[in-house]
Structure 1
Amino acid sequence: MNDASEVLEAILRRMHDSYTYRADYHAESHEHNCSGSWDCANKDCIAHTIFGADVHERMICYSCGLESRQQKYTSFLHYINDCSLNYAMRICPGNPFDDILKAVMMDVHRTCDPDVGGCGKSNHMSHSLSSSPHVFTVALGWQTGNGSVRDMLPHILAALGTEIDLGVIYPGASRRSKHSLVSMACFYSQRYICVVGDWIQVLSMCEEKEMQPLLLFFEAAN
């Protein structure tokens, strides 16, 4: 069975294909030392206008000051795994969900690129948004074995929240940055189900029935 996030991303990619001609694909960045692209130039593409986040990733070395490893890409889903989420919770105990997501992103490190004159020291990657999606989707991957889900699940549920500010997660996302949870897809009894309703009751049901959250849909506040 395909993971729910894989199915959703495949659907969004097919939607993108239906709205976009090949001539619109992969408008490569002309910025110096920046690879990749924001790969849709069609403003009518529902996948991008609703779910697409144009991300600019780069590393600014704290030691030598060099800016390297720049890349542009469009993300439909914000991926995170249960172990990273649990680790971030220990760093940010009691913090809101957007702070925890930011802590996970700050834990991604790469070396200052020696191929472009960098010093080779490890630094965290920084991410900013060129455009904020109307629906910000968090895809939660479960690396924990089945026998440990029961132990991990209460901690994961405690980390989740119903409000996020993309300006906390991504610098420069001030416009339309606040999003509210409108739905959540879970894995339960060998199938996927969608849950909505009172958040406290949803959390209680997930813990009682051992329903694993997989996709959280946050819609931009008007």
Structure 2
Amino acid sequence: MMMPCDKEGCGKQNYVERVINKLPSVFTIGLEWEDNETEEDIFSTTSVLATEIDISEIFKYEGDSLFTNYRLVSMVCWLGDQYSCIAYENRGWVIHIGTENEVIGDWNRVLSIFAKLKIRPEILFFENVMGRDQIVSGNLGSISEDQ
């Protein structure tokens, strides 16, 4: 990644490398919104969100695990004048607003609802794919003391 030089008056772009040595079990991304977005603005921003990311494309990974893929599992969203949660549950997306829960369905439907209802995802929670698969299959194995 290229970033401006830290030296005052340098004006040059320098290569900046972000290194991670240990994979977190959860990876979060925060989005900041202006509060006056149109349906089109919301759709164009949210349509580039992916439900799976490879953390090694963001950070130079120097750990010993090959499992650098993360899956989107939930989002804190701003809806009108309150926060809501959209989570992946039972093989589909569900929106939780207050005490109400509504099944949304697949990811394309989530994207259309973002624009239609002007829902702004603010905090995205990604879970390590390998960690999730091990929990689901019951193959946790031994967990080190520092986790």
1:216 is the counterpart of 2:124: yes
1:194 is the counterpart of 2:85: yes
CA 149–167 in structure 1, closer or farther in 2 if over 3 Å, else same: same
Tell me how far 1:151 sits from its aligned partner.
3.5
Tell me how far 1:112 sits from its aligned partner.
6.0
Q: C-alpha separation between the residues in 2 aligned to 1:205 and 1:112?
A: 42
Q: Is the 8 A contact 1:110 1:125 kept in 2?
A: no
Residue of structure 2 equivalent to 1:177: 68
Percent identity for Structure 1 against Structure 2? 32
Query: Equivalent of 2:5, from 97, 102, 111?
Result: 111
1:121 is the counterpart of 2:27: no
Equivalences, count: 110
Query: Equivalent of 1:154, from 39, 43, 50?
Result: 43
Structure showing greater relative contact order (alpha-carbon pairs closer than 8 Å, 6 or more residues apart): 2
Segments of structure 1 that go 5 or more residues without pairing to the other structure are: 1-105
Q: Point out the structure with the larger helix share.
A: 1
1:163 is the counterpart of 2:52: yes
Q: Is the 8 A contact 2:77 2:83 kept in 1?
A: yes
CA 112–141 in structure 1, closer or farther in 2 if over 3 Å, else same: closer
After the TM superposition, list the runs of 4 or more consecutive aligned residues in structure 1 that deviate by more than 6 angstroms. none
CA 128–110 in structure 1, closer or farther in 2 if over 3 Å, else same: same
SS of the residue 2:61 aligns to: coil
Q: Deviations over 1:37-64 (max 9, x none)?
A: xxxxxxxxxxxxxxxxxxxxxxxxxxxx
Q: Is the 8 A contact 2:40 2:115 kept in 1?
A: no
Q: C-alpha separation between the residues in 2 aligned to 1:187 and 1:152?
A: 15
Q: RMSD of aligned C-alpha atoms?
A: 2.2
Q: C-alpha separation between the residues in 2 aligned to 1:155 and 1:173?
A: 34
Tell me how far 1:203 sits from its aligned partner.
1.3
SS of the residue 1:126 aligns to: coil
Segments of structure 2 that go 5 or more residues without pairing to the other structure are: 88-92, 94-105, 131-147
CA 112–194 in structure 1, closer or farther in 2 if over 3 Å, else same: closer
SS of the residue 1:160 aligns to: coil
CA 153–121 in structure 1, closer or farther in 2 if over 3 Å, else same: same
Q: C-alpha separation between the residues in 2 aligned to 1:156 and 1:120?
A: 30
Residue of structure 2 equivalent to 1:207: 115
Residue of structure 2 equivalent to 1:58: none
CA 154–193 in structure 1, closer or farther in 2 if over 3 Å, else same: same
Tell me how far 1:215 sits from its aligned partner.
0.9
Q: Is the 8 A contact 1:132 1:173 kept in 2?
A: no
